[in-house]
Amino acid sequence: MKKIITTIAIFAALITGSQAQDKVNVNQGFWVIENNINLPKVQTVKFYSADKRLMYEETVYTKLNLKKKKTLVALNQILDKLNERTAYIESRNLVTLSLNLKH
């Protein structure tokens, strides 16, 4: 009986603690954050088009917190701006500037 109650309690905690990822519109493209175990504060943010071509890449020297809505919104806005542009991107610090990160 004790095992059943414990199992039910764990299962209920897992269900309530889970969070689904927002739906991604692949027609617009997507972004990926890559990091290295040896350098945890150095991350590379890559933005891809709908046909999986790399549009933009930037290395940031701080850990991005993907649990913050501000970070997700900023990355999605950059992706939208990149999709609107057809010319070469002049700024090489789009992520750093939009999230007010230190260089």
Report whether pLDDT(61) > 80.
yes
- pTM exceeding 0.95: no
Under a CB-based contact definition with an 8 Å cutoff, are residues 47 and 55 in contact?
Answer: yes
Is residue 33 within 8 Å of residue 44, measured between CB atoms? yes
Whether 103 and 61 have beta carbons less than 8 Å apart is answered as yes
How far is residue 55's CA from residue 46's CA, in Å, rounded to a whole number? 8
* pLDDT (tens digit per residue) in 17-42: 434 335 555 568 899 999 888 988 89
Judge whether residue 56 has pLDDT over 60. yes
Phi first, then psi: give them for residue 43, nearest 5 degrees: -130, 145
CA geometry: angle 45, 50, 56, nearest 5 deg: 30
Q: pLDDT by residue (tens digit) across 65-98? A: 889 999 999 999 999 888 887 555 656 777 777 7
